[in-house]
Amino acid sequence: MSDNTQERDRVAELEAEVDRLREQVEEQREVLSILAAGQQSETLPDLGCPYCGEGTLVGSSGISWTQVECTACDFKEYL
Ligand SMILES: [Zn+2]
């Protein structure tokens, strides 16, 4: 019986994880669209990192690309 309980707990855990990841993706999309908009004005808005919540996103760009990365974690993304 305890096996069934464990399995239910596991499923609940996974469902919670999926919800968390969905929220993260939503948040990332939002951040990227803000950054893409900020790109027009050549100054990136001062944004906190959606992943670690500690770092700040800083950008660097070339002729046809802009990359943002976090000062605290491994988050790195091309716009
Ligand atoms: Zn970060």
- Residue 53 Cα to ligand 1 middle (Å): 6
Q: What distance in Å separates the CA atoms of residue 48 and residue 55, rounded to the nearest whole number? A: 6
Enter the tokens of residue 47.
């944004």
How many domains does the chain fold into? 1
Ligand 1 centroid–CA 48 distance in Å is 8
d(C-alpha 53, C-alpha 37), whole Å: 21
pTM of structure: 0.45
pLDDT tens-place values along the chain, 79 residues long: 567 888 999 999 999 999 999 988 888 888 778 777 766 555 566 778 888 989 988 888 777 777 888 999 998 888 7
User: Which residue range(s) make up the domain with 16?
Assistant: 2-78
CB 34 within 8 A of CB 7: no
CA of residue 4 to ligand 1 center, whole Å: 38
- Three-point CA angle 25, 28, 32, nearest 5°: 140
d(CA 77, CA 8): 36
Q: What spacing in Å lies between the alpha carbon of 44 and ligand 1's midpoint?
A: 16
CA of 76 to the centre of ligand 1 (A): 9
What is the model's pLDDT at position 73? 94
Query: Which pLDDT score, from 0 to 100, does residue 41 have?
Result: 55
Q: Which residue has the tokens 């948040």?
A: 27
